[in-house]
């Protein structure tokens, strides 16, 4: 595993960049979906559609689900940490705060990841370079998003705490999911099992609390957003994520949250013609320095070779 040395391969960096683009749209789609769908129902639609798409993909490939007995309980626990709790918490949080602030709070995930990996693993220990890199990356996200959203920190405290709790769940899930590689479970099956378990957990919660039969049907715009959220930002994204996790480790995989704001801003500039400001370039530079510090390759170039 390249993550054992803290250094990622070119393939790992490619997956990380693609994942940041895919997950970058999730906050946007969630915001649209919440306009006509309750938070719990949104989560259920997201995970159930994503699980169905992955089962179809597995079936088309002719892949047989050969799973060790201990994998089933592990799927349930991973679903709670990686889907049920964080999706519910972010869906609630985004009913109170803007998606820009939610993306800043989402960028605290690697900070939790460094701490959790240090406590629960032997090969992803905390180092000064990792700590410095994570802090630089988070600072870069804050600079890039801008002072307008930073002024909102302290308002709607419950919603912001919910988002922070979600990122802590993501960090725990990143470390917990490492065990599937030892079980010999492929990334596609990890994503499929996790989302299936999340669907089974969410269904009774929605029936009890949201009672969707009393709500109006989602708008066409919300359905489009929910389908994109499920197929692109969930099923496809988790295949990428578990591939990256297996090869690069938990800490490196969670760095994607630093890149999400960059891809969102660059896509806005390229597709929508939005103007890039000085703070955007400054933030990108800080994030680049942070990623370089965590990867460690550039720092080692200046050191004399050991005998």
Q: Would you state the structure tokens that stand for residue 213, as one six-digit string?
A: 């039969």
Mean pLDDT of 106-128: 88
Residue 297: which pLDDT band, with cuts at 50, 70 and 90? low
Look at residue 83 and tell me whether its pLDDT is greater than 80. Answer: yes
Residue 307: which pLDDT band, with cuts at 50, 70 and 90? very low
For residue 304, being part of any structural domain is answered with no
For residue 152, being part of any structural domain is answered with yes
For residue 157, being part of any structural domain is answered with yes
For residue 271, being part of any structural domain is answered with yes
Nearest CA to 254 among 159, 178, 305?
Answer: 178
Domain count, the chain: 1
Instruction: Return the half-sphere exposure (C-beta side, CA atoms, 13 A cut-off) of residue 259.
Output: 19
Structure confidence by residue, pLDDT tens digits, 252-268: 898 888 888 777 777 66
For residue 306, being part of any structural domain is answered with no
Angle made by CA atoms 181, 185, 189, in degrees to the nearest 5 = 130
| CA 198/CA 269 separation, integer angstroms | 36
Mean pLDDT of 281-301: 77
Lowest mean pLDDT among 14-18, 21-25, 83-87, 273-277: 273-277
Look at residue 300 and tell me whether its pLDDT is greater than 90. Answer: no
Structure confidence by residue, pLDDT tens digits, 187-239: 999 999 999 999 999 999 999 998 888 888 888 999 999 999 999 999 999 99
Q: Work out the number of other CB atoms within 10 angstroms of the CB of residue 243.
A: 20
What is the pTM (predicted TM-score) of this model?
Answer: 0.83
Dmax (CA) for the chain in angstroms is 72
For residue 68, being part of any structural domain is answered with yes
Angle made by CA atoms 282, 286, 287, in degrees to the nearest 5 = 115
For residue 121, being part of any structural domain is answered with yes
Domain encompassing residue 8: 2-299
């Amino acid at each position: 595993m390249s993550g054992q040395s803290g250094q990622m391969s070119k393939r790992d960096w490619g997956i990380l960049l693609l994942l940041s683009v895919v997950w970058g749209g999730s906050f946007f789609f969630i915001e649209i979906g919440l306009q006509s769908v309750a938070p719990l129902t949104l989560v259920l639609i997201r995970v159930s559609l994503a699980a169905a798409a992955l089962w179809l993909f597995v079936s088309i490939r002719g892949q047989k689900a050969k799973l060790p007995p201990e994998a089933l309980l592990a799927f349930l626990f991973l679903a709670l940490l990686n889907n049920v709790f964080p999706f519910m918490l972010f869906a609630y949080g985004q009913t109170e705060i803007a998606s820009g602030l939610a993306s800043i709070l989402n960028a605290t995930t690697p900070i939790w990841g460094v701490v959790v990996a240090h406590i629960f693993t032997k090969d992803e220990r905390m180092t000064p370079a990792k700590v410095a890199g994570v802090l630089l990356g988070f600072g870069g996200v804050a600079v890039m998003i801008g002072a307008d959203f930073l002024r909102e920190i302290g308002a709607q405290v419950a919603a912001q705490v919910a988002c922070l709790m979600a990122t802590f769940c993501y960090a725990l899930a990143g470390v917990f999911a490492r065990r599937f590689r030892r079980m010999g479970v492929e990334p596609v099956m990890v994503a499929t099992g996790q989302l299936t378990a999340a669907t089974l957990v969410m269904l009774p919660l929605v029936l009890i609390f949201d009672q969707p039969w009393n709500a109006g049907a989602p708008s066409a715009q919300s359905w489009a957003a929910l389908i994109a959220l499920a197929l692109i930002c969930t099923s496809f994204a988790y295949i990428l994520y578990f591939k990256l996790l297996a090869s690069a480790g938990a800490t490196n995989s969670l760095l994607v949250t630093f890149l999400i704001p960059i891809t969102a801003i660059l896509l806005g500039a390229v597709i929508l013609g939005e103007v890039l400001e000085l703070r955007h370039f400054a933030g990108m530079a800080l994030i680049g320095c942070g990623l370089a510090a965590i990867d460690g390759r550039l720092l080692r170039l200046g050191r004399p070779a050991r005998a």
